[in-house]
Amino acid sequence: MITQKMKYALKALLVLADEAASESPQALSIEQVAKRAGTPKRFLEHILLEIRDAGVISSKRGRAGGYVMVKRPGEVKLSELLRLIDGPLAPLPCLSRSAYQRCPDCTDEETCRIRKTFADVFWTYLLIIDSLTLADLMRSGELASRVIAEP
């Protein structure tokens, strides 16, 4: 399950990606992003700073300042965003790529049936989530709006 913080991050990135794809893209203020994304500004400030520090977006100061996409949506992997915002993806610490820890109550990882079962599910999830990008989210919105608009 993704957190509300992650949902806010994705909504904000979709707004910035849509703006970058427009005919005359401009930097968007935090207020503009929050309004278009339907997210609270006070939460969004911290989230956008994390994403900026990861090099996905940049911020410009001044009168025409705001946030802009640095990476193309196809270069922004959802798995990397999930790890950045929500932390490790693994359901067990012994399965984590980035935050591996041996389970304190485990006597043998090789024969642990809990680990083996969750590993199978987790690796399948990783194959899918590692293949998805922000561009996929943008396309899914287009498909959804077409389906809803059709009688």
Chain segment 106-116, per-residue pLDDT in tens:
888 888 888 99
pLDDT band (50, 70, 90) for residue 143:
very low
pLDDT band (50, 70, 90) for residue 33:
very high
- Give the global pTM: 0.82
In DSSP notation, 11-74 reads: HHHHHHHHHHTSSS---B-HHHHHHHHT--HHHHHHHHHHHHHTTSEEEE-STT-EEEE-S-GG
Alpha-carbon Rg for the chain in angstroms: 19
Considering the domain 4-69, what is its CATH architecture? Orthogonal Bundle (1.10)
Q: At what angle do helices 134-149 and 4-20 cross, to 10 degrees?
A: 80
pLDDT in tens, 5-32: 999 999 999 999 999 998 989 999 999 9
Domain locations along the chain? 4-69, 88-132
